[in-house]
Structure 1
């Protein structure tokens, strides 16, 4: 009996109702409201700092996103060349082709654009005088009286005033600064695209390392499906945009539209955004054709209406047959949301992002829901 009592005395003591327990965070917050308020204020401050950083880096994040999707779009070309050559040689060939294409676009567009702007500034007054001497202007002046003629004379006086020309040139300089900033962004995206394209496989391996080992195979398969589908989508949309740009260049040159190379570039960039972009670029190009004559603009409108029908019912089903089908409503919503967040680049990235989300839903969410054939068992209390 005594040995049992000794054993009980030497046993490890346990907490009883009178033994004080360590104070938890909740009890500390209840006893010290100041600490709770301080921690909440610090959390809000950290959130504001992170939001400000993201806002400042929004353009950079858009550049990175565009570069990643372009790299995914060029990866099928690299894989095709890799069947006959080593991957470094395939990457080098694609890099050289992309750089040459970019330099060719610059050499084709920039001199023509500068020349056209200079001619517009020099020939602006003469164009207004010729317009006022036309039969159409005289007929309109006779119908609307001296009000229309006074307005035209005011426009002519404004153009002929050197001070106003200086103001216009200041606006032109601002536009030129915007164009230079755009070219800088394109250059950054091009450099990032080439880097991501060369290191795409290593990037996928590093991304898989963040996933637990027992889920890496599933994650790697899903990542390959997403990257392959996005690459096919980007390549298909770029092919449609290239067709639209080449046909626009040929047609606009035939009808003698102003700056056909620039208008073809607008058509190419617009076609990268399906539905919304093609329509917007067609409207812009048709309005610019009004500089030549209303007949030229009408011909351009008819051409783009016919082309959009051919693209929707002939070209797009053939080129985009292997790509992910994105519903039209989702395309419009993604394009508008991407444009609001990141401008033109954001709209370009938004559609592949929507395609990626669709793939994840089809590959992960739907199968997980399909496996739930019976409701979960309810345990009795």
Structure 2
């Protein structure tokens, strides 16, 4: 190919590369803002089915949005006011249980040896502790304590800053969620007008399927989390498990992660029931049996009925999407990844496959 004006070609190429770098840098700079907007959009789509239901009962859009937002905030405030004091009390109790273990190092080690010998009679406990002692000596344990203390102090400051940033982010997301929930119909109409009139009807149909699927997914996953949290609190109270409120909150939040969340949360709860001094092997065994039964009930009875109006996603796709979303955006990414995968499946089934069949 013959280039008639090398200077102009080089200038256009340089400007194109610079524009691309500028766009990538801008996206990286605005990543937090984009994350806030995506989270708010995700939540507003989850609240939209409730708002639509209230509109069908004769309420205007603004009243339906106001009632929905107030109801969600009231439930959240009630849960915080009820659970937070219990959480603080049980976390303080946990600290009180751990402090003597740290202060009385040798006595704690001997107690731990006795507990392990009694619980696992076939385990060579002395060999295990000898291996740990040798490893600590090789790692120069005592000389690293001062460095660890300094690191812990810096970590406390980082955690405090992260908590403040999280509260500020939560407030921003709340404001954006209210705005997006109130203006969802107008935003949809504005987006639909960008599509050519000849393809607009088909586009609207697919877009409505995607938004409805995301909304039903959000409501369904929250419902499963609430069910797991309440049942966990009841059962753990019956078997006298330690830190019932804390473990119930763990069960709720991990249930929000599809497919692997309930299993992960259940494992953490069972291990917490094995803590020396506050738990016991019998309590952990009872919790393990309960969660094995609950996971079967959730998988074959609760989830199919609650999530029936959301788009079904194959298990392998759920795992891949959850892992990819978690690697990119953490817990929030794992939550958002599933409806994104469902949306891609809708486009694949209703747009790509029909086009391939017509060729």
Give the alignment's TM-score, normalised by structure 1.
Answer: 0.77
Does 2:50 correspond to 1:77? Answer: yes
Name which of 83, 86, 89 aligns with 2:63.
89
Partner of 1:319: 306
Partner of 2:196: 212
Partner of 1:178: 162
Question: Deviation per CA, 1:52-91, whole angstroms, max 9, x where unpaired?
Answer: 2212322332332222222122111112122222222221
Name which of 296, 302, 305 aligns with 2:292.
305
Query: Partners in 1 of 2:342 and 2:221 — Cα distance?
Result: 12
Q: For 1:192-271, what aligned pairs fall within 5 Å after superposition?
A: 192-271=176-255
Give the CA deviation at 1:304.
1.9
Give the CA deviation at 1:286.
2.7
Distance 1:260 1:185, change over 3 A: farther
Give the CA deviation at 1:134.
4.2
Question: Deviation per CA, 1:121-166, whole angstroms, max 9, x where unpaired?
Answer: 4553324547557486377499528956x96xx9xx99xx999878
Contact 1:68–1:196 (8 Å) recurs in 2: yes
Partner of 2:4: 31
SS at match of 1:290: coil
Does 2:267 correspond to 1:283? Answer: yes
Structure 2: runs of 5 or more not aligned: 119-123
Tell me the number of residue pairs that the alignment of Structure 1 and Structure 2 aligns: 339
Query: Partners in 1 of 2:318 and 2:285 — Cα distance?
Result: 28
SS at match of 2:302: helix
Distance 1:75 1:52, change over 3 A: same
Question: Deviation per CA, 1:308-332, whole angstroms, max 9, x where unpaired?
Answer: 1111111112212222110111111
SS at match of 1:347: helix
Does 2:110 correspond to 1:126? Answer: no
SS at match of 2:273: helix
Contact 2:90–2:246 (8 Å) recurs in 1: no
Structure 1: runs of 5 or more not aligned: 1-25, 376-381
Partner of 1:8: none
Moved more, 108-117 or 50-59: 108-117
Query: Partners in 2 of 1:366 and 1:317 — Cα distance?
Result: 26
Query: Partners in 2 of 1:301 and 1:59 — Cα distance?
Result: 39
Q: Which has the larger radius of gyration?
A: 1
RMSD: 3.4
Give the alignment's TM-score, normalised by structure 2.
Answer: 0.81
